[in-house]
Amino acid sequence: MKKLFYSVLVTFFVIGCGGDDKNNGSLRVGVTALSFVGGGGTQSVDIAGNVDWSAESDQTWCAVTPKIGHGNATVNVTAERNPAETPRTAKITVKADDAGLFREITVTQEAGKPDGPVIIGDKSLNVTPVELNFGQGGGSETIHIETSAGLEWTITSGETWCKLSTLSGIGNADVTVNVEAHTGIGNRIAVLTVSNSEYSLSREVMIEQAGNEPVIPKQYDIYVAGKNKDGYATYWKNGEAFVNQNVTGAYIDIAVENGDVYTLASGVNVGYYKNNGAKVALASGYANTYVSSIAVSNGNVYVAGVGAAGARVYAMYWMNGTATNLNASGSSSTANSIFVSNNNVFVAGYTNLNFSAALYWRNGSPVILAGGNGIPAEAYCIFVSGNDVYVGGFTDSGSYWKNGDAVKISNSNLVTFGDIAVSSNGDVHIAGFARITGTNNYQFKYWKNNEETVLYNGGDSFITCRMAVTDNDVYIVSYYFTG
């Protein structure tokens, strides 16, 4: 019977957290202070690090987008027009809660100018309105400049996306403000300045344009099961070890639901563990019990394995500790992998009936895939996507099975597929190992559909592998002997 020693499962959910230079995390911000004119504006700040982070302003007039992220990123800080004739201050905190880290940015804004005309002696300058708002599509609006007789003025935008119909004039005038479409994230601001340098007169107009809502990136928790250097069963969450000193040997598989971690231990007559707690024993009715794979669905715990009596083993699975014997033929059989979909239980394995034949069971009913009649075949992994059942294992043809039909992806007949997964867009991902022809060495490989990638070349013997697939990333673990 094959023993599986390392496993990986990726669960994901949206969070807003991050880190700095402790606990192996890093978090940096490009500036610690920003300054805005009274009319407002938008400035960019670079964030550098290797952790999940969130960013928040303590003042409503000062906004930051996006508000969460991971690793290196650029955020936009937007200050609205200051309606008061006094300066004001805000504080932006970029923090990584899980790592206990934070950075602060102090934002200051100059005093705003009062509404109405600016008057010095017999010279005056006024602009209306003092604020314009545009949607994402942009558009055109008009501002009115009113001055004392014969006063020259200039107007500037400061932003290439906000263009003006004229840049200077004398006396009263209307100026058209043309704003381009905004495809970026978050609002942006331009400040128009109308001024006369000779008499030190100036007025400001704030132009604010809506942007796309920030897309909150999915964040992933990575769980890996195995054993630590001291030989105790251990699982790791994002690199942090959780050791079960009551279990000598390895955790061989892991499942996570609603934050609870379920693990299987290697060895004979073992069971599963929830959050490293007490062992939940699994009885098979035979002299010995071995387990190989675990799945959790809607609070129910499913485990695949075998009961052993003498030289024979019998495929089984357990639901919440209750055993179901999958062996109807009386010959030896093995259950290697379990998957639950819509309350249907799928188990992949093989039977020694008429030599070794790969098969899977759906709710206890066998589906023979290949082998028998003197041609060996074994099933080691199973994945269900919608109504499609994907099975990987060992055959003499370099194929996996989809709904019982062989799909050839390797030219080698010495290949073993250790794990299989299907992403949301239908891509089929397979990890496994192939013996290098004419040698005793193996290549560890990954296939995406029919495209093959060699991950490691030259191991004497790869034991097993586990894989998890998110929308964009593939996580694979394995280990091998080198001599």
What was the pLDDT predicted at 218? 65
Domain endpoint, select from 60, 76, 109? 109
Task: Examine residue 470 and state whether it is found in any structural domain, yes or no.
Answer: yes
Q: Which of 348, 314, 349 is nearest to 332 (CA)?
A: 314
Give the DSSP H/E element, type plus range, for residue 422: strand 415-422
Task: Examine residue 2 and state whether it is found in any structural domain, yes or no.
Answer: no
Give the C-alpha distances (Å, rounded to integers) separating 52 from 92, 98, 192: 16, 8, 37
Angle of CA points 275, 281, 283, to nearest 5° = 150
What was the pLDDT predicted at 413? 65
Q: Are residues 235 and 375 in the same domain?
A: yes
What was the pLDDT predicted at 230? 93
Task: Examine residue 452 and state whether it is found in any structural domain, yes or no.
Answer: yes
Task: Examine residue 1 and state whether it is found in any structural domain, yes or no.
Answer: no
Q: Are residues 278 and 179 in the same domain?
A: no
Q: Are residues 129 and 88 in the same domain?
A: no
Q: Are residues 24 and 139 in the same domain?
A: no
Q: Are residues 31 and 65 in the same domain?
A: yes
* Radius of gyration for the chain, computed over Cα atoms and rounded to the nearest angstrom: 33
What is the extent of the structural domain holding 52?
14-109
Q: Are 58 and 118 in contact (CB under 8 A)?
A: no
Q: Are residues 18 and 45 in the same domain?
A: yes
Q: Are residues 240 and 177 in the same domain?
A: no
Q: In what order do the strands lie in the sheet with 88-96?
A: 33-36, 101-109, 88-96, 52-57, 68-70
Give the C-alpha distances (Å, rounded to integers) separating 218 from 69, 282, 415, 426: 9, 36, 34, 19
Q: Are residues 124 and 39 in the same domain?
A: no
The encoded tokens of residue 65 equal 């987008």
Q: Are residues 156 and 33 in the same domain?
A: no
Q: What is the C-alpha to C-alpha distance for residues 338 and 293, in angstroms, rounded to an integer? A: 6
The encoded tokens of residue 159 equal 């932003």
Q: What is the pLDDT along the chain (483 residues), one digit of tens a residue?
A: 233 334 544 443 322 233 334 345 788 999 999 999 888 888 999 999 888 899 999 999 999 999 998 888 999 999 998 988 899 999 999 998 877 788 999 999 999 877 788 999 999 999 999 999 999 999 999 999 999 999 999 999 989 999 999 999 999 999 999 999 999 888 899 999 999 999 999 999 999 999 887 766 666 788 999 999 999 999 999 889 999 999 999 999 999 998 899 999 988 888 899 999 999 989 888 889 999 999 999 999 999 999 998 888 999 999 999 999 998 666 789 999 999 999 999 999 988 766 678 999 999 999 999 876 667 788 999 999 999 999 998 887 788 999 999 998 887 667 888 899 998 889 999 998 887 777 777 888 899 998 989 888 766 655 567 888 887 788 888 776 555
Q: Which of 297, 73, 276, 116 is nearest to 204 (CA)?
A: 116
Domain endpoint, select from 179, 209, 239? 209
Handedness of CA 452, 453, 458, 462 (dihedral sign): negative
Q: Are residues 222 and 342 in the same domain?
A: yes
**Entry field: residues in the chain:** 483
Classify residue 392 by burial, with Cβ atoms within 10 Å: 0-12, 13-18, 19+: buried
Task: Examine residue 35 and state whether it is found in any structural domain, yes or no.
Answer: yes
Q: Which of 1, 55, 6 is nearest to 418 (CA)?
A: 6
Q: What is the C-alpha to C-alpha distance for residues 422 and 443, in angstroms, rounded to an integer? A: 22
Domain endpoint, select from 74, 109, 144? 109
DSSP 3-state of 94 = strand
The encoded tokens of residue 95 equal 């923090």
* Residue type for position 13: F
Q: What is the C-alpha to C-alpha distance for residues 88 and 108, in angstroms, rounded to an integer? A: 6
Contacts of 278 (CB under 8 A, 6+ apart): none
E strands present in 312-414: 312-319, 322-325, 333-341, 344-351, 357-362, 365-371, 378-385, 388-394, 399-402, 405-408
What 3 state SS string does 165-184 have? CCCEEECCEEEEEEECCCCC
Contacts of 419 (CB under 8 A, 6+ apart): 380, 381, 392, 430, 431, 432, 465, 466, 467, 476
Task: Examine residue 300 and state whether it is found in any structural domain, yes or no.
Answer: yes
What was the pLDDT predicted at 458? 67
Angle of CA points 139, 36, 141, to nearest 5° = 15
What was the pLDDT predicted at 52? 87
Q: Are residues 425 and 398 in the same domain?
A: yes
Overall number of domains in the chain: 3
Task: Examine residue 126 and state whether it is found in any structural domain, yes or no.
Answer: yes
Contacts of 20 (CB under 8 A, 6+ apart): 26, 27, 28, 49, 51, 96, 99, 101, 102, 103
Give the DSSP H/E element, type plus range, for residue 193: strand 188-196
Task: Examine residue 88 and state whether it is found in any structural domain, yes or no.
Answer: yes
Q: Are residues 33 and 67 in the same domain?
A: yes
Q: Can you give the CATH number for the domain in which 165 is found? A: 2.60.40.10
Angle of CA points 472, 478, 481, to nearest 5° = 155
Q: Which of 434, 341, 424, 445 is nearest to 383 (CA)?
A: 341
